[in-house]
Amino acid sequence: MTPLPDIHGLCPPRFAAVKDAFAANFTDAPEGLNEQAARFSVCVGGETVVDLWGGWADAAKTVPYEARTLTPVFSTGKAVMSLLIATCVERGLLDYERPVASYWPAFGQAGKAAITVGQLMSHQAGLPGFSETVDPVIWFDREAVLDRLTAQAPMWPPGTASGYHPITIGFLAGELFRLVDGRSMGAALREDFAAPFGLDLWIGLPEAEHGRVAALRKPASAPDLGTIDAIKTSAFLDKGSAPGGRGSAEWRTMEMPSANLHGTALDLARVMGTLANGGMLDGQTILSAGVLAQMLRERIHGRDKVVPFDVSWAAGLMRNEGLHIFGPNPTAVGHCGWGGSCAFADPDAGLSGAYVMTRQSPYLVGDPRAQRLIGALYESL
């Protein structure tokens, strides 16, 4: 049995089952997924009720995982990206029902003129990857990526199906945000959320902060994508489907809103509280009820062309209906990241939470360690 590391943080007796589940993930997690380090944080009504962490931030087990340790959460950051787009809708800079090309004319090339902002954010645009093989170093050149994507024809008729865009959505949504707001998403996250609310969340991590980042242990096997075709290959399997050819320091520093957010579970839970508490964060209105409803409503539901699930997509978030990975309530929303992290919000319960870890698994959604924690959480309510 794996020795149990010291567990730190907040967990009142009411949530003792959550702490037991957290400890169990270090000792008897399923399929050899025992943690190296992890953190699980929950807010109810905007107040932190659970915040547990433990383990080691380095592979040699010499650096304790601490409250200020940052963890890369990959696609879990899409939840924050979606919130940033929603703030543009709130300010009247964007409309989910208007074509992307009305804000970004170049996007309208090659049969994409009618794709709406809402369709783009719900992975209906048909651009999950490049239609031709590229050098993976291209991802470090934002303009080169955008030139290719704007010229590329959709891989299926837009609006007819979803097909998860693992990385491209960050460049597309990021450019749309930049055009209407004037800032990058990383700058807006720092100025509008991180600084005023004290959130330790970063899209584009300055080198001065790299020493706080926990080391990850990659999955022992690849995720199950189901039957492989050209669409899935472009999204996940082609040699140019993900960044490569540069060091980790450059990857951490670049702004890729879909895949390289660094942060803490607590601050992910806090920012997701905006969606759980009627658009409010720490007593301030971020989103009006109308915009929040537009953001969270179902935009398409069916078999996704990239991930092998039936998914109900909101404007950038997975809806819990059908997936049942964010607790029992179908109106909950969230996002999962490569290796097992997740962040979620449950408006019915006024609850938000996040799970981050350093030992990655091959699960695309619903990592069993997160499921164990979320199950214990709802049993405790």
Rg of the chain, C-alpha, whole Å: 19
DSSP assignment of 125-190, as one string?
SS-SS-SS---GGGGG-HHHHHHHHHHSPPSS-TTS-----TTHHHHHHHHHHHHHHSS-HHHHII
Number of Cα atoms under 13 Å in the Cβ half of residue 273: 25
Give the contacts of 276 (CB within 8 A, at least 6 positions apart). 43, 345, 346, 347, 349, 350, 351, 352
352 assigned to active site: no
Instruction: Report the 10 Å Cβ neighbour count for 137.
Output: 13
d(C-alpha 87, C-alpha 79), whole Å: 13
Instruction: Report the 10 Å Cβ neighbour count for 286.
Output: 23
d(C-alpha 220, C-alpha 255), whole Å: 28
Residue 331 burial by CB count (10 A; 0-12/13-18/19+): exposed, middle or buried? Answer: middle
Q: 3-class SS at 241?
A: coil
Give the contacts of 60 (CB within 8 A, at least 6 positions apart). none
**Active-site hit among 75, 234, 312, 380:** 75
End-to-end CA distance of the chain: give it in Å, rounded: 30
Compute, in degrees rounded to 10, the torsion defined by CA atoms 325, 17, 368, 340. 80
Which are the catalytic amino acids? 75
